[in-house]
């Protein structure tokens, strides 16, 4: 089922219409403790949400767990049926976990996503991937199941701090790299905020760039909804990036998803340069932007064996062989690429020392 992605200029009116398209007996609204404080006040007086039962879970990716999922199921049992409707108001953690909870409760109820972070607008809430972390691994358990609607309203972007804005922007940069040079160049020029001050960010222009970014993802997802082929293009930076996230989780330090993906893109663009001919000038420009925007990920060569082990758990792999999405150039996508242990370690060296 193709989900409806709506760019909102009147959130109450658009949400009311989206709910009306989903006949239901009970309405549930999922938030985390941060979106309860910052985003729920924007919608809580909407008439269409007057009867909604609000479910609150912990924030950050550390709470994207079986325990949080179980709590949501228990709350859904308070009057929920297979004809109920859930609205996920939050970032990628909320839309991932909430989508999975809705997809599995009573064998599946309808749900609507209202992403509130840049990351969830351009990535997590679009495309039907749902799930939780499990056994120390990112998104290990989940299903493909699209929401009925995704409502994008840039009003929520003003609630973000610099780090969360930058985190989402990494996925936009990825979309630029897999699309065309014009989009890639525009993304490198955009000012995310000098010295981490987002008060000067042009949110109107950012909203237009979000629409472009979402359209790139939608086009790829429509072509390959369950990631058998070209949808793997969206995993650029993620094979290494997810390993960085898992390493950080094991070491009890929080790394935002987009930061890990940005650092992963540095490694995978290096592999692209040595294996599939990605131009070194484009590599240099992209790496410079990433280092200026995202700083450095602290790790040493002693952690290389663990990082390689974590990469072997990536869901794109076949028979234990680490699978990468690489680029021959901007928009020249090469899926199902492999690299030797030495090449991967060189890419990690390039990130640490380059």
275-297 pLDDT, tens digit per residue, is 999 999 999 999 999 999 999 99
Position 268 pLDDT exceeds 90? yes
64, 257, 282, 334: which is the annotated catalytic residue?
Answer: 257
pLDDT of residue 317: 76
Let me know: does 73 contact 105? Beta carbons within 8 Å.
yes
Active site residue 175: no
Active site residue 238: yes
What's the topology of domain 4-159?
Rossmann fold (3.40.50)
Query: pLDDT of 74-98, one tens digit each?
Result: 999 999 999 999 999 999 999 999 9
The Cα–Cα gap between 338 and 322 comes to: 6
Active site residue 129: yes
Active-site annotation holds for 196: no
- pLDDT at residue 1 tops 70: no
Please list, in sequence order, all residues whose beta carbon lies within 8 angstroms of the beta carbon of residue 261, skipping any fewer than 6 positions away: 170, 171, 174, 237, 238, 241
Q: Is 183 a catalytic residue?
A: no
Mean pLDDT of the chain: 94
Alpha carbon 329 to its chain's center: 23
Predicted local distance difference test score (pLDDT) of residue 238: 96
Tell the burial category of 279 from Cβ atoms under 10 Å away from its Cβ (0-12, 13-18, 19+).
Answer: middle
pLDDT class for 124, splitting at 50, 70, 90? confident
Q: Which is catalytic among the residues 64, 138, 174, 238?
A: 238
Residue 197: the pLDDT is: 81
Superfamily of domain covering 163-353: Dehydroquinate synthase-like - alpha domain (1.20.1090.10)
Q: What is the pLDDT of residue 2?
A: 67
From first CA to last CA, the distance across the chain in angstroms is 44
Query: Which of the residues 47, 107, 204, 253 is marked catalytic?
Result: 107
Annotated active-site residue in 63, 133, 183, 235? 235
Strand-strand pairing, 85-90 and 27-32: parallel
pLDDT band at 133 (very low <50, low <70, confident <90, very high): very high
**Is residue 47 annotated as a catalytic residue, yes or no?**
no
> Which one from 64, 138, 175, 231 is the annotated catalytic residue?
231
Whether residue 303 lies in the annotated active site: no
State the Cα torsion 239-241-246-249 to the nearest 10°.
Answer: -170
Residue of 175, 217, 232, 334 marked catalytic:
217
The answer to whether residue 319 scores a pLDDT higher than 80 is no
Decide: residue 161, CB within 10 A, 0-12 exposed, 13-18 middle, 19+ buried.
exposed
Instruction: Examine the residue annotation and report whether 242 is marked as an active-site residue of this protein.
Output: yes
159-197: pLDDT as tens digits: 899 999 999 999 999 999 999 999 999 999 998 876 678
- Specify the length of the chain in residues: 354
Which residues neighbour 295 within 8 Å (Cβ) at sequence distance 6 or greater?
none
Residue extents of the structural domains in the chain: 4-159, 163-353
The per-residue pLDDT for 318 is: 75
């Amino acid at each position: 089922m193709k989900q409806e992605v709506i760019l909102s200029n009147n959130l109450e009116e658009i949400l009311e219409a989206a709910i009306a398209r989903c006949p239901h007996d009970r309405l549930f609204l999922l938030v985390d403790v941060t979106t309860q404080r910052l985003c729920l006040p924007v919608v809580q007086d909407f008439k269409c949400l007057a009867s909604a039962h609000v479910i609150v879970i912990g924030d950050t990716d550390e709470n994207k767990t079986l325990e949080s999922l179980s709590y949501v199921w228990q709350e859904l049992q308070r009057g929920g049926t297979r004809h109920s409707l859930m609205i996920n108001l939050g970032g990628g953690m909320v839309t991932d976990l909430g989508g999975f909870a809705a997809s599995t409760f009573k064998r599946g109820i309808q749900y609507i996503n209202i992403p509130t972070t840049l990351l969830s607008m351009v990535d997590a809430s679009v495309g039907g991937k749902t799930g939780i972390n499990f056994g120390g691994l990112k998104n290990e358990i989940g299903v493909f199941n699209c929401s009925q609607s995704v409502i994008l309203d840039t009003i929520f972007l003003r609630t973000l701090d610099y780090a969360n804005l930058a985190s989402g922007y990494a996925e936009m940069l990825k979309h630029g790299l897999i699309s065309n040079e014009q989009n890639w160049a525009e993304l490198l020029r955009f000012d995310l905020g000098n010295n981490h001050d987002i008060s000067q960010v042009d949110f109107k222009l950012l909203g237009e760039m979000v629409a472009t970014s979402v359209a790139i993802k939608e086009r790829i997802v429509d072509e390959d909804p369950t990631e058998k082929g070209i949808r793997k293009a969206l995993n650029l930076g993620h094979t290494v990036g997810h390993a960085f996230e898992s390493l950080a989780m094991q070491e009890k330090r929080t790394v935002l998803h987009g930061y890990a993906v940005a650092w992963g893109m540095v490694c995978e663009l290096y592999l692209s340069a040595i294996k599939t001919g990605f131009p070194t000038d484009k590599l240099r420009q992209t790496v410079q932007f990433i280092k200026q925007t995202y700083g450095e990920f602290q790790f040493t060569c002693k952690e290389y064996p663990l990082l390689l082990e974590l990469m072997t758990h990536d869901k794109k792999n076949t028979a234990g062989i680490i699978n990468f999405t690489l680029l021959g150039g901007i928009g020249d996508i090469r899926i199902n690429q492999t690299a030797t242990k030495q090449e991967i370690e060189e890419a990690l060296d390039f990130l640490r020392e380059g």
